[in-house]
């Protein structure tokens, strides 16, 4: 996967992060080559000064643009790469609606489903811990809202597949890994299938590796 | 404040919410008239079916556009209103940078400073509760990052005042109400002053009213 190309795009990436998978998926669907720079989060690679210069929040993904600008945040990267493409609505209201869903994903999906997948897969929580229960409740509230929104819509914003769908797909499609059953959410389930059927869809999201387990490495998540 | 105008913009608004103040500030600086619709959150006004049709997340602000579309989320509303104005960079990278900071504000500033201001002002937390301590720690981490970013910059994105500054200003300028001292953050303090000096700056943010106190009303925050 690691190829240096003339495009000069470089993605600071972690294979088990669905935030990173969002960007890999969009880049694949855009057919844009890029250099993938794996960041071994749990080997402490985001803890030093070198990484702070790339992203002071010490998170992945970060996109290094062709002119050497470091752009953190999966949503911001999606907005940048999708500019003037069919993955971003052309009108002001459509673009604002994209931001609405990007923020919703980061504030209502990531802290619930995303956080729970990470903590269950890396032995930071067990299924019946309070921290797991409260995240499952939050996930159920978010999934209910999303399911209602999709009752009369095929995609989240602008009437067609967009980066809003890519952002929401990332952690929702692995809700099972967060002990969340999607069966009650028929509209969400049908939408996941529509996303999978988009041209150029691919999935290279991986499980967390052994060094991500609690106590096995060093990271900002200790 | 409540005026029906020919523009047809309508803001579902709460005077003590700094998320709402962001939108009021941008509308003032754009010189755009709008109808202000006060939503008495703690009188249960966001709990019914009527408000769910305006925003299924039951939050303020929501902007009703001239063609009757309901747009929730303060960041999305700022992006919509700032489109093609000097408050939004014209290039793709600049617009993406705005999204980076809008998301950062919602994920690192709101849950820390914003949440703490609300809970202290409404008797949901005391200064030395664990929930206050952890939010102050999170606020310190965010303020440190923001202060570093401003070390070599006058504004957050695009080299000039933008909606990124408006979004971050909203809760940071009332950090004192969240028991947070901004004195150690000299760059942030200087930036707050630069924001205050922008043409058309105004401040109509109010304290939480008595019915917002814990146990005094009914809301999604019970």
- In this complex, the residue of B56, B73, B96 whose CB is nearest that of residue A76 is B96
Are A201 and A126 a contacting pair, CB within 8 Å?
no
- In this complex, the residue of A57, A79, A104 whose CB is nearest that of residue B99 is A79
Distance from CA of A127 to the nearest CA of B (A): 24
State the pLDDT at residue B222.
Answer: 84
Torsion of CA A83, A154, B51, B24, to 10 degrees: 10
Chains A, B: CB pairs < 8 Å? 87
Q: Residue B146: CB partners within 8 Å, gap ≥ 6?
A: B168, B172, B185, B187, B188
Distance from CA of A25 to the nearest CA of B (A): 18
Asked if B102 and A107 come within 8 Å (Cβ–Cβ), the reply is no
Q: Residue A193: CB partners within 8 Å, gap ≥ 6?
A: none
Among chain B residues, CA nearest to A56: B145
Give yes or no for A129 touching B (CB within 8 A).
no
State the pLDDT at residue B90.
Answer: 94
The domains located in chain B, with CATH, are: 10-86+204-212 (3.40.30.10), 92-196 (1.20.1050.10)
Q: Which of A71, A79, A164 to mutate to test the interface with B (most CBs of B within 10 A)?
A: A79
State the pLDDT at residue A7.
Answer: 57
The stretches of B8-90 forming alpha helices (DSSP H) are 18-30, 49-54, 74-82
List the strands of the sheet with B35-38, edge to edge. B35-38, B10-13, B62-64, B70-72
The stretches of B4-112 forming alpha helices (DSSP H) are 18-30, 49-54, 74-82, 92-104
Give yes or no for B99 touching A (CB within 8 A).
yes
- In this complex, the residue of B92, B106, B148 whose CB is nearest that of residue A103 is B106
pLDDT tens-digit profile of B68-81? 999 999 999 999 99
Asked if B83 and A96 come within 8 Å (Cβ–Cβ), the reply is yes
Among chain A residues, CA nearest to B74: A100
C-alpha A214 chain-centroid distance: 22
Return the structure tokens found at A146: 């999303």
Picking from B115, B93, B95, the residue whose alpha carbon sits closest to that of residue B105 is: B115
Asked if A104 and B80 come within 8 Å (Cβ–Cβ), the reply is no
Asked if B73 and A104 come within 8 Å (Cβ–Cβ), the reply is yes
Q: Which of B80, B91, B151 to mutate to test the interface with A (most CBs of A within 10 A)?
A: B80
For residue A147, give the 3-state DSSP assignment. Answer: helix
Tell which A residues from 1 to 60 touch B, by Cβ distance under 8 Å. Answer: 56-57
Give yes or no for B207 touching A (CB within 8 A).
no
Asked if B92 and A69 come within 8 Å (Cβ–Cβ), the reply is no
CA atoms within a 13 Å half-sphere pointing along the CA-CB vector of A72 = 15
Distance from CA of A212 to the nearest CA of B (A): 23
State the pLDDT at residue A222.
Answer: 85
Asked if B103 and A76 come within 8 Å (Cβ–Cβ), the reply is yes
Asked if B57 and A96 come within 8 Å (Cβ–Cβ), the reply is no
Picking from A86, A83, A35, the residue whose alpha carbon sits closest to that of residue A62 is: A35
pLDDT along chain B (222 residues), means of 10: 61 98 98 97 94 96 97 98 97 97 98 97 97 98 98 96 98 97 98 98 96 93 87
pLDDT along chain A (222 residues), means of 10: 61 98 98 97 94 96 97 98 97 97 98 97 97 98 98 96 98 97 98 98 96 93 88
For residue A185, give the 3-state DSSP assignment. Answer: coil
C-alpha A114/C-alpha A111 separation (Å) is 6
Q: Residue B203: CB partners within 8 Å, gap ≥ 6?
A: B21, B25, B173
Give yes or no for B108 touching A (CB within 8 A).
yes
Q: Residue A15: CB partners within 8 Å, gap ≥ 6?
A: A38, A204, A205, A206
State the pLDDT at residue A77.
Answer: 98
């Amino acid at each position: 996967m690691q190829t240096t190309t003339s495009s000069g795009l470089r993605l600071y990436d972690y294979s088990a992060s669905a935030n990173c998978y969002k960007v890999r998926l969009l880049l694949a669907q855009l057919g844009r080559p890029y250099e993938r720079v794996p960041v071994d989060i749990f080997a402490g690679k985001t803890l030093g000064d070198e990484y702070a210069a790339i992203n002071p929040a010490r998170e992945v993904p970060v996109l290094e643009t062709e002119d050497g600008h470091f752009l953190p945040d999966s949503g911001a990267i999606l907005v940048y790469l999708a500019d003037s493409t069919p993955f971003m609505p052309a009108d002001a209201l459509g673009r604002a609606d994209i931001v609405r869903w990007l923020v919703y994903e980061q504030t209502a999906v990531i802290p619930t489903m995303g956080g729970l997948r990470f903590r269950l897969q890396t032995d930071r929580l067990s299924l019946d811990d309070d921290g797991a229960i409260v995240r499952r409740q939050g996930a159920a509230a978010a999934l209910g809202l999303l399911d209602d929104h999709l009752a009369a819509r095929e995609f989240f914003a602008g009437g067609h597949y967009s980066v809003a769908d890519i952002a929401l797909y990332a952690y929702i499609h692995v809700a099972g890994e967060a002990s969340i059953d999607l069966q009650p959410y028929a509209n969400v389930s049908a939408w996941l299938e529509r996303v999978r059927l988009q041209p150029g869809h691919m999935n290279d999201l991986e499980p967390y590796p052994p060094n991500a387990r609690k106590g096995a490495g060093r990271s900002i998540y200790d």
